[in-house]
Amino acid sequence: MPSTRSILENVFGMLGIVFWSFQLLPQVVDNYKAKSTEGLSYSMFFIWTLAALGFGSYGIVEQLSYPIIIQPQIFGALSTVCYLQCLYYGQRTRWSLKWTMIAAVFFFVAMAGIQAGAVFATRAGKDHDVKGTIDAAGIIPIILLAIGFMPQYFDIYRDRSVVGVSMPFIAADAAGACFSLISLAFREEFDLLAALNYVVVLICDLIVVVFYVYFNKLHPELARVREVSMDEEKAANAATEVGEPPFRFEEAQSTSTTIVGTEEDLKASPLGQEEQQHQQQHHHSLGAFLRNGTTIPNHIHATPVLPKVEHPPSA
C-alpha cells in the first residue's frame, strides 16, 4: 500500500503537470478574441519553444513518467501557436494566413527534428560517460526559460504597463510551479535540478505580477501604452462613423508629453501642422486598434508641446 507521502507527492505532482500543460491556453484564447498580440514579446514565445524542446528531450533520456514527458510537448506546441499569432496579428508583421500556416508546418516539423537530435546527442553523451551531459540537458532549458522572460520585462518597462499578457496564464504558470514544489517536498529524495526549475519560473511570474500591480493598478498615469476599455471602444466606433477623431486633444494624457497651447497655435506652428498630418495618417489605424480592443499608444492622441515665444516689445 502506498504511503501518505507517496500519495501526496503524486497528487500535487499531477496538479502541477495539469497547470503547466495548459497554462498558455488562456493567452492563446485572449490573442484570438482580441485579434491582437500588442504588448507581447515575439522572442519570448520563440525562446520558450526552444526551452520546451530541451525539457522534452531531458525527460525522454531520463525515462521520466509519461505525464512529465508529455507536458513540455504541450507547452512547446502552445508557445509555437502564440509565436505564430504574433506573426499573424502583430502590427509589425501582419503575415497572411497562408504564410502563417506554412510557417506552422515548418516549425512543428523542425521542432520534431531538433528534439530527436537532442535525444540522440544526450543519450550518446550519457552512454559514453561524458561528464555533465545530463546536468547540461536539464540546466540549459531552465536558462532559456528565464531568458525568455527578459524581452517581455523590457517591453513592460518601456511601455510602463503590462499590456497583452494574460494574467490567468501567469496565475496558472505560478500555480503549476507551486504545486510541483510541494510535490518535491514529499519525495524521499529531493531533486535539486527540478526544484531550481520551479523556483525560477515562480520568480519570473512574480516579477510580472509586481509590474502589473505597480504600473497598472498603483500608477496607471505612467502608462505609455494602455488597454482600451469597452466604453472607449464604443465611443471610438461612434466617433469614427461621423468622421470625428476618437478622442479630443484635451482628453489625451501622456507622461512624456504635456498638452499646452491652443489649436490656433498649432495651426500656426510647423510642428502643429506636422502633428495634424500625423494624426490624419493614424486615424484609420487608430479606429482599427480600438475596434479590435487592442492597445493604444498615448502619443497618437497627444498634442505636441509648443515652445513659448517671447516677442520683443514694440518701439
Residue ranges of the domains in the chain?
4-222, 228-300
Collapsing DSSP to helix, strand or coil, 225 comes out as: strand
Note the pLDDT of residue 127.
Answer: 86
Q: Which residues contact 173 (CB under 8 A, 6 or more apart)?
A: 19, 20, 23, 201, 205
Note the pLDDT of residue 68.
Answer: 78
Stretch 60-76: mean pLDDT, rounded? 83
* Cα angle 169-173-178, degrees, rounded to a multiple of 5: 145
Give Rg (Cα) of the chain.
25
* Tally of residues, the chain: 315
Note the pLDDT of residue 126.
Answer: 86
| Cell, residue 82 | 502564440
Note the pLDDT of residue 296.
Answer: 36
Note the pLDDT of residue 253.
Answer: 38
Q: Mind listing the pLDDT tens digit for each residue in 178-228?
A: 998 898 888 877 778 778 888 999 999 999 999 999 999 999 988 876 665
Stretch 2-17: mean pLDDT, rounded? 84
Per-state percent for the chain, helix, strand, coil, to nearest 5: 70, 0, 25
Note the pLDDT of residue 246.
Answer: 45
Distance from C-alpha of 48 to C-alpha of 52, rounded to nearest angstrom: 6
* pLDDT tier at 310, thresholds 50, 70, 90: low
